[in-house]
Amino acid sequence: MEPLYMELPAVEYVRRRRCDSAASVPQFCNSPTIIVMVGLPARGKTYISKKLTRYLNWIGVPTKVFNLGQYRREAVQSYKNFEFFKPDNEEAMMIRIACASAALKDVATYFTKEQGQVAVFDATNTTRERRGSILRFAKERGFKVFFVESVCDDPDIIAENIKAVKISSPDYVDRDTEDALEDFLQRIECYKMTYVPIDDQKDRNLSYIKIFNVGSRYLVNRVQDHIQSRIVYYLMNIHVTPRSIYLSRHGESELNLVGRIGGDTGLSARGAEYAAALAKFIKGQKIKDLKVWTSHMKRTIQTAEALGVQYEQWKALNEIDAGVCEELTYEEIQEKHPEEFALRDQDKYRYRYPKGESYEDMVHRLEPVIMELERQENVLVICHQAVMRCLLAYFTDKTADELPYLRCPLHTVLKLTPVAYGCKVEGVCLNIEAVDTHRERPSVVDINRNPEEALQTVPDHT
């Protein structure tokens, strides 16, 4: 097969563009990575694939999942039963091989045409032959391969996974639950006939992580580079224990009242009211072993104090540093720094305030917070608007373009509950009046725009 050569994008230099934040990860465009999932059905491979992809995209590594089940469903319009997966079903095996080839072809296109850096090949990949063909495919094209094998022999975990996601899959639409369960168990038996796990001796030259029983034990072998190291670290921190994460901004601050950004003032009278209301709300939730985190800033600490419980302060949770624009109103920024104001509107995620930070910088400094949130169970994070946007974007899989415009109003609690392949978000307004600090994306972002156009979406603070 002819090798595909990488098309490296031309470097474009833009005059005075303050979007040159130090990247939190090196660029891997000349040596992309295929993450190859391995394991029997109902071992959490798709859960790991989606979660890992969400994390890598959040930290700035373009990543995409290629789920072989979707390719199979497109090739075979209607699923009959488990016999499709029998190793001796030659006709079905030809279809499955063709689907794998189509998916790998799409992986190559993603790397060469779409500047992707990581592809997650989400399939069982339970035979040495299949894994060998993927390795050959990658070697011919200069792609790296990292295997993630999920091994699970705990019947309770397997049963829970089947119940949570498998019997509600497109394969079992309009099928009786018991019938679907029986068929899926038979499907697993079909895979068991030919399943050959990654072998510690025979495969000692491969790069891989084995995850046993959803994280009770790990085996890591030959990590090749920085990105694989990040992947391993992340996978060793996630868990599936049911929990909720509560996100709240501090109560309204004195600077919020006058429309000034940043600073380190205390709460307004209404902000103090919210702190008391938050304490009452949290107490009413009866949350087991709740941990409370704040930033180092007065307004989050004063909000937490009303709870009457211990809390942990994180400097990483401090609000975005607006540099020369700290404690200015949007009107003053437009008056004193009109070009900067326009540049930020052109690319709010990557724009860095002079002597300050960008949203991209914040994602980098919030990564340890995300890792610790993944390790923990129930946590209340009392933070700031930009910080809350970054955290919310991670849990809800929002793009870098969407992130800076996520609505995170004052005096509202967001309850995030991880579900099978995503996150359920519930907003609870505690009915304490507060100013609106949300500025919508403006329609005119040209440097030569007039002040009225620049200030069109500034929230009222008079």
SS (H, E, C) the chain: CCCCCCCCCCCCCCCCCCCCCCCCCCCCCCCCEEEEEECCCCCCHHHHHHHHHHHHHHCCCCEEEEEHHHHHHHHCCCCCCHHHHCCCCHHHHHHHHHHHHHHHHHHHHHHHHCCCCEEEEECCCCCHHHHHHHHHHHHHHCCEEEEEEEECCCHHHHHHHHHHHHCCCHHHCCCCHHHHHHHHHHHHHHHHCCCCCCCCCCCCCCCEEEEECCCCEEEEECCCCHHHHHHHHHHCCCCCCCCCEEEEECCCEHHHHCCECCCCCCECHHHHHHHHHHHHHHHHHCCCCCEEEECCCHHHHHHHHCCCCCCEECHHHCCCCCHHHCCCEHHHHHHHCHHHHHHHHHCCCCCCCCCCCCHHHHHHHHHHHHHHHHHCCCEEEEECHHHHHHHHHHHHCCCCCCHHHCCCCCCEEEEEEEECCEEEEEEEECCCCCCCCCCCCCCCCCCCCCHHHHCCCCCCCC
- Above 60 in pLDDT, residue 22? no
The per-residue pLDDT of the chain, averaged, comes to 93
Contact 205, 222 (CB under 8 A): yes
Compute the average pLDDT of residues 89-96.
97
Work out the average pLDDT over 144-151: 98
More confident residue, 1 or 33: 33
Report the half-sphere exposure of 137 (CA within 13 A, side-chain side). Answer: 21
Using the predicted structure, report yes or no on whether residue 396 has a pLDDT greater than 70: yes
426 pLDDT more than 70: yes
- Of 2-16, 17-31, 74-88, 442-456, minimum mean pLDDT range: 2-16
Q: Give the model's pLDDT for residue 419.
A: 86
Residue 28 pLDDT > 60, yes or no? Answer: no
Annotated catalytic residues are 122, 152, 250, 319
How large is the average pLDDT for residues 201-210? 98
Burial of 125 (0-12, 13-18, 19+ CB in 10 A): buried
Residue 4, pLDDT above cutoff 50: no
Average pLDDT, integer, range 290-304? 98
pLDDT at 20 over 90: no
In whole angstroms, give the CA distance from residue 66 to residue 121.
5
> Global pTM?
0.91
**C-beta of residue 367 within 8 angstroms of C-beta of residue 56:** no
Asked if 144 and 31 touch (Cβ cutoff 8 Å), the reply is yes
Euclidean distance between CA atoms 404 and 417, whole angstroms: 22
Q: Beta-carbon neighbour count of residue 393 at 10 Å?
A: 22
- Tell me the C-alpha distance between 217 and 358, whole Å: 38
pLDDT over 60 at 355, yes or no: yes
Averaged pLDDT for residues 350-372: 98
pLDDT exceeds 90 at position 68: yes
Tokens of 87: 């190793």
- Beta strands 379-383; 245-249: pairing state: parallel
Cα–Cα distance for residue pair 360/205, rounded to 1 Å: 36
Predicted pLDDT of residue 194: 97
Q: What angle (nearest 5°) sits at the alpha carbon of residue 398, between those of residues 213 and 294?
A: 75
355 Cβ neighbours under 8 A, 6+ residues apart: 323, 324
pLDDT at 350: 98
* Exposure string for 244-268, b = 16+ CB within 10 A, e = fewer: bbbbbbbbbbbbbbebbbbbebbbb
Residue 312 pLDDT > 90, yes or no? yes
Question: What does the pLDDT read at residue 77?
Answer: 86
Per-residue pLDDT, 26? 45
In this structure, which amino acid lies at residue 69? G
At 16, the pLDDT band (50, 70, 90 cuts) reads very low
Please state the φ and ψ torsions of residue 58, each to the nearest 5 degrees: -65, -40
Q: What percent of the chain has pLDDT over 90?
A: 87
> What are the backbone angles phi and psi of residue 277, rounded to the nearest 5°?
-65, -35
Percent of the chain with pLDDT over 70: 93
Is it the case that residue 14 has pLDDT exceeding 50? no
User: For 216-269, what is each residue's pLDDT tens digit?
Assistant: 999 999 999 999 999 999 999 998 888 999 999 999 999 999 999 999 999 999
The predicted structure's pLDDT at residue 262 = 97
- pLDDT of 36 reads 98
Structure confidence at residue 24 as a pLDDT band (50, 70, 90) = very low
Query: Residue 165's pLDDT band (boundaries 50, 70, 90)?
Result: confident
pLDDT for the residue 462:
58
When comparing pLDDT for 168 and 344, which is higher?
344
For position 167, what pLDDT does the model report? 80
CA dihedral angle for residue 430, residue 432, residue 435, residue 440, rounded to 10 degrees: 20
